Amino acid sequence: MDIARVFREEYGRAVSVLVRAFGDIDLAEEAVQDAFAEAVRRWPSSGPPPSPAGWIITTARNRAIDRVRRESTRDDRQAAAVLAAEDEGETEVVGDDRLRLIFTCCHPALAPAAQVALTLRLLGGLTTAEIARAFLVPEPTMAQRLVRAKGKIRDAGIPYRVPEDLAARLRPVLAVVYLVFNEGYVASSGRELVRDDLCAEAIRLGRLLVELMPEEPEVVGLLALMLLTAARSAARTDADGAVVLLRDQDRTRWDRDLITEGQALVRWCLKRGEPGPYQLQAAINAVHSDAATAAATDWPQIVALYDQLLAMTPTPIVALNRAVAVAEITGPRAALAIVDDLNLDSYYLFHAIRADLLRRLGWVEQAADAYDAAIARADNAVEREHLCRRREALTS
Protein backbone atom coordinates (compact mmCIF):
# COMPACT_ATOMS: atom_id res chain seq x y z
CA MET A 1 0.00 0.00 0.00
CA ASP A 2 1.49 3.27 -1.16
CA ILE A 3 0.30 5.72 1.49
CA ALA A 4 2.02 8.62 -0.26
CA ARG A 5 -0.08 7.95 -3.35
CA VAL A 6 -3.30 7.75 -1.32
CA PHE A 7 -2.27 11.02 0.31
CA ARG A 8 -1.84 12.75 -3.06
CA GLU A 9 -5.12 11.42 -4.41
CA GLU A 10 -7.31 11.79 -1.36
CA TYR A 11 -5.94 14.69 0.67
CA GLY A 12 -7.95 17.34 -1.20
CA ARG A 13 -11.16 15.34 -1.11
CA ALA A 14 -10.80 14.64 2.61
CA VAL A 15 -10.00 18.28 3.47
CA SER A 16 -12.94 19.48 1.34
CA VAL A 17 -15.39 17.13 3.05
CA LEU A 18 -14.10 18.13 6.50
CA VAL A 19 -14.23 21.85 5.67
CA ARG A 20 -17.87 21.48 4.68
CA ALA A 21 -18.68 19.53 7.83
CA PHE A 22 -16.81 21.74 10.30
CA GLY A 23 -16.48 25.09 8.54
CA ASP A 24 -12.88 25.43 9.70
CA ILE A 25 -9.95 24.98 7.35
CA ASP A 26 -7.26 24.59 10.00
CA LEU A 27 -9.29 22.01 11.88
CA ALA A 28 -9.93 20.13 8.64
CA GLU A 29 -6.24 20.08 7.74
CA GLU A 30 -5.13 19.03 11.21
CA ALA A 31 -7.69 16.23 11.31
CA VAL A 32 -6.78 14.91 7.85
CA GLN A 33 -3.08 14.99 8.74
CA ASP A 34 -3.89 13.11 11.97
CA ALA A 35 -5.74 10.49 9.93
CA PHE A 36 -2.80 10.00 7.57
CA ALA A 37 -0.41 9.75 10.51
CA GLU A 38 -2.67 7.04 11.91
CA ALA A 39 -2.67 5.29 8.52
CA VAL A 40 1.14 5.27 8.47
CA ARG A 41 1.13 3.61 11.92
CA ARG A 42 -1.57 1.04 11.19
CA TRP A 43 -1.72 0.05 7.56
CA PRO A 44 1.72 -1.56 7.31
CA SER A 45 0.75 -4.21 9.91
CA SER A 46 -3.05 -4.38 9.61
CA GLY A 47 -3.10 -4.05 5.83
CA PRO A 48 -4.99 -1.27 4.03
CA PRO A 49 -8.74 -0.94 4.60
CA PRO A 50 -11.11 -1.85 1.73
CA SER A 51 -11.72 1.84 1.00
CA PRO A 52 -8.64 3.86 1.98
CA ALA A 53 -10.36 7.14 1.04
CA GLY A 54 -13.41 6.35 3.16
CA TRP A 55 -11.20 5.27 6.04
CA ILE A 56 -9.23 8.52 5.90
CA ILE A 57 -12.37 10.68 5.85
CA THR A 58 -14.07 8.74 8.67
CA THR A 59 -10.93 8.75 10.80
CA ALA A 60 -10.35 12.45 10.12
CA ARG A 61 -13.96 13.22 11.02
CA ASN A 62 -13.60 11.40 14.34
CA ARG A 63 -10.31 13.14 15.03
CA ALA A 64 -11.90 16.51 14.29
CA ILE A 65 -14.75 15.76 16.69
CA ASP A 66 -12.23 14.75 19.37
CA ARG A 67 -10.26 17.92 18.82
CA VAL A 68 -13.28 20.20 19.08
CA ARG A 69 -14.43 18.44 22.27
CA ARG A 70 -10.95 18.73 23.75
CA GLU A 71 -10.34 22.36 22.91
CA SER A 72 -12.76 24.39 24.96
CA THR A 73 -11.47 27.51 23.23
CA ARG A 74 -13.44 26.64 20.10
CA ASP A 75 -16.68 28.57 20.11
CA ASP A 76 -20.28 27.35 20.25
CA ARG A 77 -20.74 27.62 16.53
CA GLN A 78 -18.14 24.91 16.08
CA ALA A 79 -19.59 22.76 18.79
CA ALA A 80 -22.87 22.92 16.87
CA ALA A 81 -21.01 21.95 13.71
CA VAL A 82 -19.62 18.93 15.49
CA LEU A 83 -23.08 17.74 16.40
CA ALA A 84 -24.21 18.26 12.82
CA ALA A 85 -21.19 16.35 11.58
CA GLU A 86 -21.87 13.46 13.92
CA ASP A 87 -25.38 13.19 12.51
CA GLU A 88 -24.11 12.99 8.99
CA GLY A 89 -23.54 9.76 7.10
CA GLU A 90 -20.04 8.31 6.96
CA THR A 91 -18.69 9.76 3.75
CA GLU A 92 -21.79 11.25 2.21
CA VAL A 93 -20.84 13.93 -0.26
CA VAL A 94 -23.34 16.50 -1.42
CA GLY A 95 -22.26 17.93 -4.74
CA ASP A 96 -18.53 18.19 -5.14
CA ASP A 97 -16.94 19.58 -2.03
CA ARG A 98 -13.71 20.12 -3.90
CA LEU A 99 -15.35 22.45 -6.41
CA ARG A 100 -16.85 24.40 -3.51
CA LEU A 101 -13.43 24.65 -1.93
CA ILE A 102 -11.81 25.77 -5.21
CA PHE A 103 -14.20 28.70 -5.46
CA THR A 104 -13.42 29.53 -1.84
CA CYS A 105 -9.68 29.35 -2.43
CA CYS A 106 -10.05 31.45 -5.60
CA HIS A 107 -12.31 34.09 -4.06
CA PRO A 108 -11.40 37.50 -5.54
CA ALA A 109 -11.17 38.94 -2.03
CA LEU A 110 -7.93 36.95 -1.71
CA ALA A 111 -4.71 38.03 -3.41
CA PRO A 112 -3.99 36.00 -6.58
CA ALA A 113 -0.78 34.54 -5.17
CA ALA A 114 -2.72 33.38 -2.12
CA GLN A 115 -5.42 31.81 -4.31
CA VAL A 116 -2.95 29.54 -6.04
CA ALA A 117 -1.11 28.67 -2.85
CA LEU A 118 -4.33 27.76 -1.05
CA THR A 119 -5.62 25.64 -3.92
CA LEU A 120 -2.36 23.71 -4.12
CA ARG A 121 -2.28 23.28 -0.36
CA LEU A 122 -5.89 22.35 0.32
CA LEU A 123 -6.82 20.53 -2.89
CA GLY A 124 -3.48 19.32 -4.21
CA GLY A 125 -2.11 18.36 -0.81
CA LEU A 126 1.24 20.02 -1.52
CA THR A 127 3.40 20.93 1.44
CA THR A 128 4.18 24.54 2.18
CA ALA A 129 7.80 23.86 1.17
CA GLU A 130 6.72 22.46 -2.22
CA ILE A 131 4.48 25.45 -2.94
CA ALA A 132 7.21 27.84 -1.86
CA ARG A 133 9.64 26.15 -4.28
CA ALA A 134 7.06 26.17 -7.06
CA PHE A 135 6.67 29.92 -6.76
CA LEU A 136 10.25 30.72 -5.89
CA VAL A 137 9.59 32.36 -2.54
CA PRO A 138 11.15 31.49 0.83
CA GLU A 139 9.19 28.92 2.83
CA PRO A 140 8.40 31.27 5.76
CA THR A 141 6.95 33.77 3.27
CA MET A 142 4.68 31.11 1.81
CA ALA A 143 3.70 29.86 5.27
CA GLN A 144 2.75 33.40 6.27
CA ARG A 145 0.78 33.87 3.03
CA LEU A 146 -1.21 30.70 3.72
CA VAL A 147 -1.91 31.64 7.34
CA ARG A 148 -3.09 35.10 6.30
CA ALA A 149 -5.35 33.75 3.55
CA LYS A 150 -6.94 31.17 5.84
CA GLY A 151 -7.40 33.88 8.47
CA LYS A 152 -9.17 36.10 5.98
CA ILE A 153 -11.50 33.28 4.86
CA ARG A 154 -12.44 32.72 8.49
CA ASP A 155 -12.62 36.32 9.74
CA ALA A 156 -14.14 38.00 6.70
CA GLY A 157 -16.64 35.18 6.25
CA ILE A 158 -15.68 34.09 2.74
CA PRO A 159 -18.32 31.43 2.07
CA TYR A 160 -17.72 27.79 1.09
CA ARG A 161 -19.87 27.58 -1.97
CA VAL A 162 -20.00 27.70 -5.73
CA PRO A 163 -21.10 31.26 -6.55
CA GLU A 164 -24.32 31.96 -8.42
CA ASP A 165 -22.65 34.34 -10.83
CA LEU A 166 -20.22 31.79 -12.19
CA ALA A 167 -18.93 33.73 -15.20
CA ALA A 168 -17.79 36.64 -13.04
CA ARG A 169 -15.90 34.41 -10.64
CA LEU A 170 -14.40 32.08 -13.22
CA ARG A 171 -11.21 33.85 -14.24
CA PRO A 172 -9.19 33.22 -11.07
CA VAL A 173 -10.42 29.62 -10.92
CA LEU A 174 -9.26 28.91 -14.47
CA ALA A 175 -5.94 30.62 -13.83
CA VAL A 176 -5.32 28.55 -10.73
CA VAL A 177 -6.25 25.24 -12.38
CA TYR A 178 -3.94 26.02 -15.30
CA LEU A 179 -1.11 26.97 -12.95
CA VAL A 180 -1.54 23.66 -11.14
CA PHE A 181 -1.41 21.87 -14.49
CA ASN A 182 1.71 23.75 -15.54
CA GLU A 183 3.40 23.03 -12.25
CA GLY A 184 2.69 19.35 -12.92
CA TYR A 185 3.72 19.46 -16.57
CA VAL A 186 7.07 21.10 -15.97
CA ALA A 187 7.69 20.62 -12.29
CA SER A 188 9.56 23.79 -11.38
CA SER A 189 11.97 21.88 -9.22
CA GLY A 190 12.95 18.40 -8.18
CA ARG A 191 13.99 15.26 -10.03
CA GLU A 192 10.89 14.47 -12.08
CA LEU A 193 10.11 16.44 -15.21
CA VAL A 194 6.40 15.70 -15.07
CA ARG A 195 4.36 15.38 -11.92
CA ASP A 196 1.48 13.30 -13.20
CA ASP A 197 -0.44 13.69 -9.97
CA LEU A 198 -0.68 17.46 -10.40
CA CYS A 199 -1.55 17.18 -14.11
CA ALA A 200 -4.19 14.59 -13.32
CA GLU A 201 -5.62 16.75 -10.54
CA ALA A 202 -5.76 19.81 -12.82
CA ILE A 203 -7.46 17.82 -15.60
CA ARG A 204 -9.89 16.33 -13.11
CA LEU A 205 -10.75 19.81 -11.89
CA GLY A 206 -11.03 20.97 -15.51
CA ARG A 207 -13.51 18.20 -16.31
CA LEU A 208 -15.49 19.08 -13.22
CA LEU A 209 -15.66 22.74 -14.30
CA VAL A 210 -16.84 21.72 -17.79
CA GLU A 211 -19.51 19.49 -16.27
CA LEU A 212 -20.71 22.41 -14.18
CA MET A 213 -20.43 25.07 -16.88
CA PRO A 214 -20.75 23.28 -20.23
CA GLU A 215 -21.59 26.52 -22.04
CA GLU A 216 -18.51 28.52 -20.98
CA PRO A 217 -16.11 28.42 -23.94
CA GLU A 218 -13.01 29.29 -21.91
CA VAL A 219 -13.72 26.46 -19.47
CA VAL A 220 -13.93 24.06 -22.40
CA GLY A 221 -10.85 25.68 -23.93
CA LEU A 222 -8.82 25.18 -20.77
CA LEU A 223 -9.74 21.49 -20.56
CA ALA A 224 -8.89 21.03 -24.26
CA LEU A 225 -5.56 22.78 -23.74
CA MET A 226 -4.66 20.54 -20.80
CA LEU A 227 -5.73 17.34 -22.58
CA LEU A 228 -3.79 18.14 -25.76
CA THR A 229 -0.71 19.09 -23.74
CA ALA A 230 -0.92 16.04 -21.49
CA ALA A 231 -1.32 13.82 -24.59
CA ARG A 232 2.37 14.41 -25.39
CA SER A 233 3.52 13.63 -21.87
CA ALA A 234 4.88 10.11 -22.52
CA ALA A 235 6.92 11.29 -25.52
CA ARG A 236 8.54 14.17 -23.66
CA THR A 237 11.25 12.05 -22.09
CA ASP A 238 13.32 9.18 -23.45
CA ALA A 239 14.11 5.84 -21.79
CA ASP A 240 16.74 7.55 -19.62
CA GLY A 241 14.29 10.24 -18.50
CA ALA A 242 15.95 12.94 -20.61
CA VAL A 243 13.95 15.71 -22.31
CA VAL A 244 12.84 15.14 -25.92
CA LEU A 245 11.84 18.34 -27.76
CA LEU A 246 8.54 18.54 -29.59
CA ARG A 247 10.18 18.28 -33.02
CA ASP A 248 12.09 15.12 -32.04
CA GLN A 249 9.24 13.34 -30.28
CA ASP A 250 8.03 9.88 -31.30
CA ARG A 251 4.50 10.86 -32.23
CA THR A 252 3.24 7.28 -32.00
CA ARG A 253 3.71 7.68 -28.24
CA TRP A 254 1.22 10.52 -28.08
CA ASP A 255 -2.03 9.58 -26.36
CA ARG A 256 -4.58 9.36 -29.21
CA ASP A 257 -7.58 9.25 -26.86
CA LEU A 258 -6.62 12.51 -25.18
CA ILE A 259 -5.92 14.11 -28.59
CA THR A 260 -9.28 13.00 -29.99
CA GLU A 261 -11.09 14.34 -26.95
CA GLY A 262 -9.11 17.59 -26.94
CA GLN A 263 -9.61 18.21 -30.66
CA ALA A 264 -13.36 17.60 -30.37
CA LEU A 265 -13.48 20.27 -27.64
CA VAL A 266 -11.49 22.67 -29.82
CA ARG A 267 -13.95 22.12 -32.70
CA TRP A 268 -16.83 22.86 -30.32
CA CYS A 269 -15.08 26.10 -29.34
CA LEU A 270 -14.52 27.10 -32.97
CA LYS A 271 -18.24 26.65 -33.65
CA ARG A 272 -19.03 28.85 -30.66
CA GLY A 273 -16.97 31.65 -32.19
CA GLU A 274 -16.07 33.34 -28.86
CA PRO A 275 -12.31 32.85 -28.79
CA GLY A 276 -10.42 33.46 -25.57
CA PRO A 277 -6.82 32.88 -24.50
CA TYR A 278 -7.31 29.27 -23.36
CA GLN A 279 -9.21 28.34 -26.52
CA LEU A 280 -6.50 29.86 -28.71
CA GLN A 281 -3.74 27.99 -26.88
CA ALA A 282 -5.79 24.81 -27.22
CA ALA A 283 -6.18 25.47 -30.96
CA ILE A 284 -2.39 25.89 -31.29
CA ASN A 285 -1.89 22.54 -29.59
CA ALA A 286 -4.58 20.99 -31.78
CA VAL A 287 -2.59 22.05 -34.86
CA HIS A 288 0.55 20.40 -33.43
CA SER A 289 -1.33 17.21 -32.66
CA ASP A 290 -2.70 17.13 -36.23
CA ALA A 291 0.78 16.84 -37.75
CA ALA A 292 1.96 13.28 -38.38
CA THR A 293 5.55 14.50 -38.44
CA ALA A 294 7.25 17.67 -37.16
CA ALA A 295 7.90 18.70 -40.76
CA ALA A 296 4.19 18.45 -41.57
CA THR A 297 3.29 21.08 -38.91
CA ASP A 298 1.12 23.89 -40.24
CA TRP A 299 3.34 26.71 -38.91
CA PRO A 300 1.55 29.59 -40.69
CA GLN A 301 -1.65 28.51 -38.96
CA ILE A 302 0.16 28.43 -35.62
CA VAL A 303 1.65 31.91 -36.13
CA ALA A 304 -1.81 33.22 -37.09
CA LEU A 305 -3.24 31.80 -33.86
CA TYR A 306 -0.36 33.33 -31.87
CA ASP A 307 -1.06 36.70 -33.53
CA GLN A 308 -4.63 36.48 -32.26
CA LEU A 309 -3.44 35.39 -28.82
CA LEU A 310 -0.88 38.19 -28.64
CA ALA A 311 -3.55 40.76 -29.53
CA MET A 312 -5.71 39.44 -26.70
CA THR A 313 -2.98 38.89 -24.08
CA PRO A 314 0.10 40.91 -25.04
CA THR A 315 2.52 39.30 -22.58
CA PRO A 316 6.23 38.69 -23.20
CA ILE A 317 5.69 34.93 -22.68
CA VAL A 318 3.17 34.80 -25.54
CA ALA A 319 5.56 36.86 -27.68
CA LEU A 320 8.35 34.39 -26.84
CA ASN A 321 6.28 31.38 -27.88
CA ARG A 322 5.19 33.14 -31.05
CA ALA A 323 8.86 33.78 -31.88
CA VAL A 324 9.50 30.02 -31.79
CA ALA A 325 6.81 29.53 -34.46
CA VAL A 326 8.14 32.47 -36.46
CA ALA A 327 11.58 30.80 -36.51
CA GLU A 328 10.03 27.84 -38.32
CA ILE A 329 8.72 30.04 -41.14
CA THR A 330 11.06 33.01 -41.48
CA GLY A 331 14.11 31.54 -39.82
CA PRO A 332 16.08 32.01 -36.59
CA ARG A 333 17.34 35.52 -37.36
CA ALA A 334 13.83 37.05 -37.50
CA ALA A 335 12.87 35.14 -34.35
CA LEU A 336 16.01 36.30 -32.52
CA ALA A 337 15.12 39.92 -33.28
CA ILE A 338 11.76 39.40 -31.56
CA VAL A 339 13.25 37.50 -28.61
CA ASP A 340 15.99 40.05 -27.96
CA ASP A 341 13.35 42.74 -27.44
CA LEU A 342 11.68 40.82 -24.64
CA ASN A 343 12.30 41.55 -21.00
CA LEU A 344 12.36 38.02 -19.56
CA ASP A 345 15.81 37.72 -18.05
CA SER A 346 14.70 35.67 -15.02
CA TYR A 347 12.85 33.07 -17.15
CA TYR A 348 14.99 30.05 -18.05
CA LEU A 349 13.03 29.26 -21.23
CA PHE A 350 13.79 32.72 -22.58
CA HIS A 351 17.50 31.92 -22.43
CA ALA A 352 16.99 28.34 -23.66
CA ILE A 353 15.07 29.57 -26.72
CA ARG A 354 17.63 32.29 -27.39
CA ALA A 355 20.40 29.71 -27.10
CA ASP A 356 18.71 27.46 -29.64
CA LEU A 357 18.21 30.33 -32.10
CA LEU A 358 21.86 31.41 -31.71
CA ARG A 359 22.95 27.81 -32.22
CA ARG A 360 20.94 27.58 -35.43
CA LEU A 361 22.61 30.77 -36.63
CA GLY A 362 25.98 29.18 -35.94
CA TRP A 363 26.93 31.71 -33.25
CA VAL A 364 28.44 29.11 -30.95
CA GLU A 365 29.99 31.35 -28.32
CA GLN A 366 26.86 33.42 -27.74
CA ALA A 367 24.76 30.27 -27.75
CA ALA A 368 26.97 28.79 -25.02
CA ASP A 369 26.53 31.93 -22.91
CA ALA A 370 22.76 31.77 -23.35
CA TYR A 371 22.74 28.08 -22.35
CA ASP A 372 24.71 28.98 -19.24
CA ALA A 373 22.14 31.64 -18.39
CA ALA A 374 19.33 29.11 -18.91
CA ILE A 375 21.07 26.43 -16.82
CA ALA A 376 21.57 28.90 -13.97
CA ARG A 377 17.85 29.65 -13.92
CA ALA A 378 16.36 26.17 -14.40
CA ASP A 379 15.30 24.59 -11.12
CA ASN A 380 14.11 21.29 -12.58
CA ALA A 381 16.98 18.76 -12.68
CA VAL A 382 15.77 17.06 -15.89
CA GLU A 383 15.47 20.38 -17.70
CA ARG A 384 18.90 21.39 -16.44
CA GLU A 385 20.53 18.18 -17.66
CA HIS A 386 18.88 18.66 -21.04
CA LEU A 387 20.29 22.18 -21.28
CA CYS A 388 23.75 20.96 -20.25
CA ARG A 389 23.69 18.32 -22.99
CA ARG A 390 22.62 20.89 -25.58
CA ARG A 391 25.45 23.11 -24.46
CA GLU A 392 28.00 20.30 -24.72
CA ALA A 393 26.70 19.36 -28.19
CA LEU A 394 27.54 22.89 -29.36
CA THR A 395 31.28 22.31 -29.30
CA SER A 396 31.45 18.61 -30.12
Partner 1 sequence: MKQYLLSVYQPDGDLPPAEILEPIMQDLVAWNQELRDAGAWVFGAGLLPPSTATVVRVKDSELLLTDGPFVEGKEHLGGFTVIAAPDLDAAVAWGRRLSEITTLPIEVRPLQGT
Q: Which is nearer to partner 1, 111 or 245 (CB)?
A: 111
Taking the C-alpha atoms of residue 299 and residue 215, their distance in angstroms, rounded to an integer, is 30
- Tell me whether residue 99 or residue 387 sits nearer to partner 1 (CB atom): 99
The residue range among 156-164, 195-203, 205-213, 380-388 that interacts with partner 1, by the rule CB under 8 A, is 156-164
Binder among 129, 147, 156, 234 for partner 1 (CB under 8 A): 156
How many chain residues touch partner 1 (CB under 8 A)? Answer: 8
In angstroms, what is the minimal distance from the CB of 76 to partner 1?
A: 13
Among 122, 158, 179, 226, the residue binding partner 1 under the rule CB under 8 A is: 158
327 is a contact residue toward partner 1 (CB under 8 A): no
Where does this chain touch partner 1 (CB under 8 A) — which range of 52-60, 64-72, 157-165, 179-187?
157-165
Contacting residue, 159, 241, 300, 331, with partner 1 by CB under 8 A: 159
Q: Is 76 a residue that touches partner 1 (CB under 8 A)?
A: no
Nearer to partner 1, 163 or 316 (CB): 163
Q: Exposure string (b/e) for 129-160, b if CB count within 10 Å is 16 or more? A: ebbbbbbeeeeeebeebbeebbebbeeeebeb
Smaller CB distance to partner 1: residue 36 or 103?
103
80 binds partner 1 (CB under 8 A): no
Which segment (92-100, 151-159, 188-196, 283-291) binds partner 1 by CB under 8 A?
Answer: 151-159
> Shortest distance, CB of residue 151 to partner 1, whole angstroms?
11
Give the 3-state DSSP-derived string for 194-210, with helices as H, strands as E and coil as C. CCHHHHHHHHHHHHHHH
Binder of partner 1 out of 47, 50, 89, 157 (CB under 8 A) = 157
Sole window of 57-65, 155-163, 353-361, 368-376 interacting with partner 1 (rule: CB under 8 A) = 155-163
Which residue in 148, 160, 154, 151 sits closest to 104, CA to CA?
Answer: 160
> Which residue, 76 or 345, has its beta carbon nearer to partner 1?
76
CB atoms closer than 10 angstroms to residue 73: 6
- Report d(CA 250, CA 145) in Å as an integer: 43
- What's phi and psi for 342, nearest 5 deg? -90, 145
- d(C-alpha 186, C-alpha 195), whole Å: 8
* Contact pattern from residue 97 through residue 116 relative to partner 1, giving x for each residue in contact according to CB under 8 A and a dash for the rest: ----------x-x-------
Q: Which stretch binds partner 1 (CB under 8 A): 150-158, 208-216, 333-341, 388-396?
A: 150-158
Nearer to partner 1, 49 or 163 (CB): 163
Which of 163, 188, 272, 363 binds partner 1 (CB under 8 A)? It is: 163
Output 165 or 240, the one with its CB closest to partner 1: 165
**Residues in the site for partner 1, rule: CB under 8 A?**
107, 109, 155-159, 163
